[in-house]
Structure 1
């Protein structure tokens, strides 16, 4: 198990099962095959069951677009998400193939799960010290960049600026370069005060 920065997991090992709960952050799993002890990852409201496989699990409970994501690199995993009357969802189950990703939304957002096939190298860019942003809300892009830096970026007007879309490849930890890049893209101003960078509308 390889953890990205700002990742919180809880591991429970018993004779019958191996369980990891991803509360936030991102983890890459390379699982040894053991039919007698299933390996289960719990993230948001989904359970991921794997045997002898490599996969990536991401938990972002505060994100606007995705509460979790599961990407299969090799092998096979089964993802189950329970429905409920409160959210109007049915129980869902997906058997994933290598190269597929299953993004899951927050309550009331993206009610149905849909598989896609992203570029795996983009999703594992953090292992190379990079952050790849692919048409994500500014608020989520800022949160992602802040995971890698001691100089946080803030948004002065979250409702307006936070909804702007961002794409690009950034160096993890370089908050200043990120702030100036998105400011140039969207016509914003950058202010640095008290050990913090803030994005403002002009």
Structure 2
């Protein structure tokens, strides 16, 4: 495992965002680790981010911590057998995972606690604006969620997005800004860009500046101003477009613009905005294309009526589900 992947996994662990799969990957690696310089370097970086000095844990501290916390971790299914030569590092890792900031400060009161993350979700039909601790600004689209730290310390500024967000990032050469969307990370120094991160597709559009996009250790592309990158996680296909329009970020000003989209694409946007599920009685209806715009606060039924009229469809609302069907032809009355 290379140093960047080790550092990423340790970062997830420190921030309490590690999942079971990543945890197992880290533990398997630690079980097999010998004196790997990449491991030592990655942990030294984490340690430096958490502490005001470069001091190491003393052997007696390491032994006490190891005995105290092995077996208390959230995802442990079997005993962890880490080589004793890595005991001091293992103690730090396991302590951060198992007992969190409180026990960490209890044992070493002069050291800094891990970052405290907050979570913000934009309610249906509304966008939200957030000012981050570094002065950067984020707009969240309706139904989208952002996890962000109360303050930025260490070598990076890292956030986690599900849904769609527009970022206007303050420039810092020595502290890059990272937005994690599932397994994909978008990295910038200072720029303005929009991210759509849903299950089937990731879209990153840059208005000014430059960003890099990667999935794990695989680079997906570098995007500059007025470029757009689309990535399909299932097929691993990447597409780069050289021009984008302001329509993509009009939602930050309260206007949703559907520009030559399919009904299927529109269903995703409208469903997220109004927190409804839109289904199709006939799959062929999904491919119909149209253009339409509406303002924040527009009534859902009015929006659906206009869209269905444009496409020659009808709709039915039941609870939180909208079903779109072909419009039935009018029956002619028999002549008398």
Q: With structure 1 as the length reference, what TM-score do the two structures score? A: 0.78
Question: 5+ unaligned residues in a row in structure 1: which ranges?
Answer: 84-90
Paired with 2:229 and 2:143, the residues of 1 have a C-alpha distance of 22
Higher relative contact order (CA 8 A, sep 6+): 1
Q: Determine whether 1:94 maps to 2:221.
A: yes
Q: Determine whether 1:19 maps to 2:169.
A: no
The answer as to whether partners of 2:139 and 2:252 remain within 8 angstroms in 1 is: no
Q: Would you tell me which structure has more helix in proportion to its own residues?
A: 2
2:239 maps to 113
1:88 maps to none
Q: Determine whether 1:72 maps to 2:206.
A: yes
Return the offset for 1:197.
4.2
2:241 counterpart SS class: coil
Q: From the superposition, tell whether residues 14 and 141 of structure 1 become closer, same or farther in structure 2 (CA, over 3 Å).
A: same
Paired with 1:174 and 1:165, the residues of 2 have a C-alpha distance of 22
Return the offset for 1:49.
1.1
Question: 5+ unaligned residues in a row in structure 2: which ranges?
Answer: 1-137, 329-336
2:287 maps to 163
Return the offset for 1:193.
4.1
Q: Determine whether 1:186 maps to 2:311.
A: yes
Q: From the superposition, tell whether residues 73 and 156 of structure 1 become closer, same or farther in structure 2 (CA, over 3 Å).
A: closer
Q: How many residues align?
A: 187
User: Deviation per CA, 1:148-199, whole angstroms, max 9, x where unpaired?
Assistant: 336x463341523233333222234432233222322222123344465432
1:31 to 162, 165, 169: 169
Q: From the superposition, tell whether residues 49 and 154 of structure 1 become closer, same or farther in structure 2 (CA, over 3 Å).
A: closer
User: Deviation per CA, 1:64-105, whole angstroms, max 9, x where unpaired?
Assistant: xxx11111112221222358xxxxxxx444222211111212
Q: From the superposition, tell whether residues 20 and 181 of structure 1 become closer, same or farther in structure 2 (CA, over 3 Å).
A: same
Paired with 1:126 and 1:153, the residues of 2 have a C-alpha distance of 20
Return the offset for 1:114.
1.7
Q: From the superposition, tell whether residues 80 and 193 of structure 1 become closer, same or farther in structure 2 (CA, over 3 Å).
A: closer
2:273 counterpart SS class: coil
Q: From the superposition, tell whether residues 30 and 195 of structure 1 become closer, same or farther in structure 2 (CA, over 3 Å).
A: closer
Paired with 1:59 and 1:154, the residues of 2 have a C-alpha distance of 19
2:306 counterpart SS class: helix
The answer as to whether partners of 2:148 and 2:159 remain within 8 angstroms in 1 is: yes
Q: With structure 2 as the length reference, what TM-score do the two structures score? A: 0.50
